Amino acid sequence: KAGVTQTPRYLIKTRGQQVTLSCSPISGHRSVSWYQQTPGQGLQFLFEYFSETQRNKGNFPGRFSGRQFSNSRSEMNVSTLELGDSALYLCASSLAGLAGKNIQYFGAGTRLSVL
Amino acid sequence: AQKVTQAQTEISVVEKEDVTLDCVYETRDTTYYLFWYKQPPSGELVFLIRRNSFDEQNEISGRYSWNFQKSTSSFNFTITASQVVDSAVYFCALIQETSGSRLTFGEGTQLTVNP
Protein backbone atom coordinates (compact mmCIF):
# COMPACT_ATOMS: atom_id res chain seq x y z
CA LYS A 1 0.00 0.00 0.00
CA ALA A 2 1.45 3.35 -1.01
CA GLY A 3 2.05 5.91 1.70
CA VAL A 4 1.21 9.59 1.72
CA THR A 5 2.71 11.31 -1.30
CA GLN A 6 3.56 14.99 -1.35
CA THR A 7 4.66 16.94 -4.39
CA PRO A 8 6.86 18.70 -5.07
CA ARG A 9 9.52 17.83 -2.52
CA TYR A 10 11.30 21.16 -2.85
CA LEU A 11 10.19 24.59 -3.94
CA ILE A 12 11.92 27.93 -4.19
CA LYS A 13 9.78 31.03 -4.53
CA THR A 14 10.20 34.75 -4.09
CA ARG A 15 8.29 37.07 -1.81
CA GLY A 16 4.87 38.01 -3.10
CA GLN A 17 4.42 34.92 -5.23
CA GLN A 18 1.90 32.20 -4.51
CA VAL A 19 2.44 28.47 -4.26
CA THR A 20 0.36 25.30 -4.40
CA LEU A 21 1.38 22.08 -2.66
CA SER A 22 -0.20 18.72 -3.32
CA CYS A 23 -0.92 15.72 -1.12
CA SER A 24 -2.20 12.29 -2.10
CA PRO A 25 -3.40 10.34 0.95
CA ILE A 26 -3.14 6.65 1.60
CA SER A 27 -5.76 4.77 -0.39
CA GLY A 28 -9.02 4.66 1.55
CA HIS A 29 -8.14 7.54 3.83
CA ARG A 30 -10.63 10.38 3.73
CA SER A 31 -9.10 12.87 6.15
CA VAL A 32 -6.12 15.03 5.22
CA SER A 33 -4.40 17.41 7.61
CA TRP A 34 -1.64 19.90 6.95
CA TYR A 35 1.13 21.01 9.29
CA GLN A 36 3.86 23.60 9.08
CA GLN A 37 7.26 22.86 10.60
CA THR A 38 9.76 25.64 11.28
CA PRO A 39 12.80 25.76 13.58
CA GLY A 40 11.26 28.57 15.61
CA GLN A 41 7.63 27.46 15.95
CA GLY A 42 7.98 23.71 15.62
CA LEU A 43 5.12 21.69 14.20
CA GLN A 44 1.88 23.61 13.91
CA PHE A 45 -1.50 22.51 12.64
CA LEU A 46 -2.80 24.36 9.60
CA PHE A 47 -6.12 22.71 8.72
CA GLU A 48 -7.92 19.45 8.13
CA TYR A 49 -10.16 18.38 5.29
CA PHE A 50 -12.68 15.58 5.30
CA SER A 51 -15.08 14.76 2.48
CA GLU A 52 -14.05 17.91 0.61
CA THR A 53 -14.91 20.14 3.58
CA GLN A 54 -12.60 22.00 5.90
CA ARG A 55 -13.39 20.56 9.28
CA ASN A 56 -10.76 22.15 11.48
CA LYS A 57 -8.46 25.15 11.17
CA GLY A 58 -5.38 26.34 13.02
CA ASN A 59 -4.24 29.88 13.74
CA PHE A 60 -2.84 30.92 10.41
CA PRO A 61 -3.69 33.95 8.29
CA GLY A 62 -6.12 33.75 5.41
CA ARG A 63 -3.20 33.60 2.96
CA PHE A 64 -3.09 29.90 3.80
CA SER A 65 -5.91 27.96 2.23
CA GLY A 66 -6.62 24.48 1.05
CA ARG A 67 -9.07 22.22 -0.62
CA GLN A 68 -9.84 18.57 -1.02
CA PHE A 69 -11.04 16.76 -4.09
CA SER A 70 -13.54 13.95 -4.39
CA ASN A 71 -10.71 11.40 -4.53
CA SER A 72 -9.44 12.76 -1.17
CA ARG A 73 -6.36 14.33 -2.69
CA SER A 74 -5.68 17.72 -1.16
CA GLU A 75 -3.94 20.89 -2.16
CA MET A 76 -2.68 23.69 -0.01
CA ASN A 77 -2.16 27.21 -1.31
CA VAL A 78 -0.19 30.08 0.14
CA SER A 79 -0.67 33.46 -1.46
CA THR A 80 1.53 36.55 -1.21
CA LEU A 81 4.46 34.62 0.17
CA GLU A 82 6.51 36.06 3.01
CA LEU A 83 10.01 35.12 4.13
CA GLY A 84 8.52 33.60 7.26
CA ASP A 85 6.58 31.09 5.20
CA SER A 86 9.79 29.20 4.55
CA ALA A 87 9.15 25.84 6.18
CA LEU A 88 8.62 22.14 5.76
CA TYR A 89 4.95 21.55 5.01
CA LEU A 90 3.74 18.13 6.05
CA CYS A 91 0.57 16.40 5.03
CA ALA A 92 -1.01 13.62 7.06
CA SER A 93 -3.84 11.29 6.19
CA SER A 94 -6.09 9.16 8.33
CA LEU A 95 -9.16 7.03 7.81
CA ALA A 96 -11.67 9.52 9.13
CA GLY A 97 -9.75 11.91 11.34
CA LEU A 98 -11.76 11.01 14.43
CA ALA A 99 -9.60 12.69 17.06
CA GLY A 100 -7.00 10.15 18.06
CA LYS A 101 -9.04 7.15 17.10
CA ASN A 102 -7.50 7.23 13.64
CA ILE A 103 -3.73 7.42 13.36
CA GLN A 104 -2.34 10.16 11.16
CA TYR A 105 0.31 8.99 8.71
CA PHE A 106 2.63 11.59 7.31
CA GLY A 107 4.24 12.24 3.97
CA ALA A 108 7.85 13.30 3.49
CA GLY A 109 6.84 16.93 3.18
CA THR A 110 7.43 19.81 0.81
CA ARG A 111 10.31 22.08 1.73
CA LEU A 112 9.43 25.62 0.71
CA SER A 113 12.08 28.33 0.59
CA VAL A 114 10.97 31.91 0.12
CA LEU A 115 13.69 34.30 -1.08
CA ALA B 1 -5.78 24.40 26.04
CA GLN B 2 -3.38 21.57 25.44
CA LYS B 3 0.38 21.54 25.62
CA VAL B 4 3.20 19.04 25.22
CA THR B 5 6.65 19.62 26.66
CA GLN B 6 9.80 17.76 25.74
CA ALA B 7 12.43 19.31 27.95
CA GLN B 8 15.36 17.49 26.36
CA THR B 9 16.35 19.35 23.22
CA GLU B 10 19.29 17.09 22.35
CA ILE B 11 20.57 13.80 23.65
CA SER B 12 23.77 12.12 22.57
CA VAL B 13 24.58 8.52 23.51
CA VAL B 14 26.97 5.81 22.48
CA GLU B 15 25.63 2.77 20.68
CA LYS B 16 24.14 0.10 22.95
CA GLU B 17 23.32 2.56 25.70
CA ASP B 18 19.72 2.83 26.90
CA VAL B 19 18.09 6.22 26.50
CA THR B 20 14.81 7.68 27.78
CA LEU B 21 13.02 10.55 26.09
CA ASP B 22 10.73 12.53 28.37
CA CYS B 23 7.30 13.90 27.51
CA VAL B 24 4.96 15.86 29.76
CA TYR B 25 1.51 16.94 28.62
CA GLU B 26 -1.29 19.23 29.71
CA THR B 27 -4.95 18.86 28.84
CA ARG B 28 -8.31 19.51 30.43
CA ASP B 29 -10.05 16.75 28.53
CA THR B 30 -10.58 13.41 30.18
CA THR B 31 -10.38 11.66 26.82
CA TYR B 32 -7.22 12.20 24.86
CA TYR B 33 -4.61 10.33 22.86
CA LEU B 34 -0.84 10.45 23.07
CA PHE B 35 1.56 9.64 20.27
CA TRP B 36 5.24 9.31 19.54
CA TYR B 37 6.59 10.01 16.08
CA LYS B 38 10.12 9.69 14.72
CA GLN B 39 11.50 12.12 12.14
CA PRO B 40 14.65 10.94 10.36
CA PRO B 41 16.66 13.39 8.21
CA SER B 42 14.42 12.58 5.24
CA GLY B 43 11.70 14.61 6.94
CA GLU B 44 8.83 12.14 7.07
CA LEU B 45 7.18 11.71 10.46
CA VAL B 46 7.02 8.00 11.23
CA PHE B 47 4.31 6.83 13.61
CA LEU B 48 5.60 4.78 16.54
CA ILE B 49 2.83 4.41 19.10
CA ARG B 50 -0.57 5.66 20.23
CA ARG B 51 -2.05 5.52 23.72
CA ASN B 52 -5.51 6.62 24.86
CA SER B 53 -6.13 8.21 28.22
CA PHE B 54 -7.91 5.18 29.58
CA ASP B 55 -5.10 2.77 28.93
CA GLU B 56 -2.16 3.23 31.28
CA GLN B 57 -0.66 -0.10 30.47
CA ASN B 58 2.97 0.18 29.51
CA GLU B 59 3.99 -1.18 26.16
CA ILE B 60 7.09 -2.85 24.81
CA SER B 61 7.84 -3.33 21.15
CA GLY B 62 11.24 -4.82 20.50
CA ARG B 63 13.83 -2.35 21.78
CA TYR B 64 11.19 0.33 22.33
CA SER B 65 9.09 0.76 25.45
CA TRP B 66 6.69 3.41 26.64
CA ASN B 67 5.70 4.41 30.16
CA PHE B 68 2.40 6.27 30.49
CA GLN B 69 1.61 7.77 33.91
CA LYS B 70 -1.52 9.89 34.24
CA SER B 71 -0.59 10.86 37.80
CA THR B 72 2.41 12.80 36.51
CA SER B 73 0.99 13.55 33.02
CA SER B 74 3.95 11.88 31.43
CA PHE B 75 4.43 9.57 28.49
CA ASN B 76 8.10 8.63 28.35
CA PHE B 77 9.83 6.63 25.64
CA THR B 78 12.80 4.35 26.24
CA ILE B 79 15.08 2.84 23.62
CA THR B 80 17.06 -0.12 24.89
CA ALA B 81 20.46 -0.93 23.40
CA SER B 82 20.36 2.07 21.07
CA GLN B 83 21.63 1.80 17.51
CA VAL B 84 22.98 4.37 15.06
CA VAL B 85 19.79 3.98 13.01
CA ASP B 86 17.82 5.33 15.97
CA SER B 87 19.35 8.75 15.38
CA ALA B 88 16.45 11.09 14.58
CA VAL B 89 14.21 13.74 16.06
CA TYR B 90 11.47 12.24 18.22
CA PHE B 91 8.20 14.02 18.78
CA CYS B 92 5.60 13.44 21.44
CA ALA B 93 2.09 14.59 20.49
CA LEU B 94 -1.39 14.92 21.94
CA ILE B 95 -4.92 14.96 20.54
CA GLN B 96 -7.83 15.93 22.74
CA GLU B 97 -11.13 14.36 21.83
CA THR B 98 -12.59 17.86 21.52
CA SER B 99 -9.91 19.10 19.12
CA GLY B 100 -10.72 16.86 16.18
CA SER B 101 -7.66 15.75 14.30
CA ARG B 102 -5.44 18.58 15.53
CA LEU B 103 -2.20 17.09 16.80
CA THR B 104 -0.32 19.24 19.31
CA PHE B 105 3.37 18.43 19.18
CA GLY B 106 6.17 18.89 21.63
CA GLU B 107 9.35 20.66 20.58
CA GLY B 108 11.05 17.40 19.72
CA THR B 109 14.19 15.71 21.03
CA GLN B 110 17.18 15.27 18.71
CA LEU B 111 18.71 11.89 19.50
CA THR B 112 22.18 11.15 18.21
CA VAL B 113 23.55 7.66 18.64
CA ASN B 114 27.28 7.50 18.06
CA PRO B 115 29.09 4.32 17.02
What are the E-state strand segments in B1-115? 3-5, 10-14, 19-21, 24-26, 32-39, 46-52, 59-61, 64-69, 74-79, 88-96, 104-105, 109-114
Instruction: Give me chain B's average pLDDT, please.
Output: 94
pLDDT of residue A97: 67
How far apart are alpha carbons A102 and A49 in whole angstroms?
14
B101 vs A56, A107, A109: nearest CB: A56
- Residues near A97 by Cβ (< 8 Å), separated by ≥ 6? A30, A31, A33, A48, A50, A55, A104, B100, B101
At A97-113, the pLDDT tens digits run 676 678 999 999 999 99
A99 vs B33, B105, B107: nearest CB: B33
Provide the CB-side half-sphere exposure for B20 (13 A, CA). 9
At B17-58, the pLDDT tens digits run 999 999 999 999 999 999 999 999 988 999 999 999 998 888
* Closest residue in chain A to residue B5, using alpha carbons only: A42
Over range B72-83, report the average pLDDT. 96
CA A3, chain centre distance (Å)? 15
CA distance B105 to chain A (A): 6
CA distance B94 to chain A (A): 8
Over range A8-18, report the average pLDDT. 97
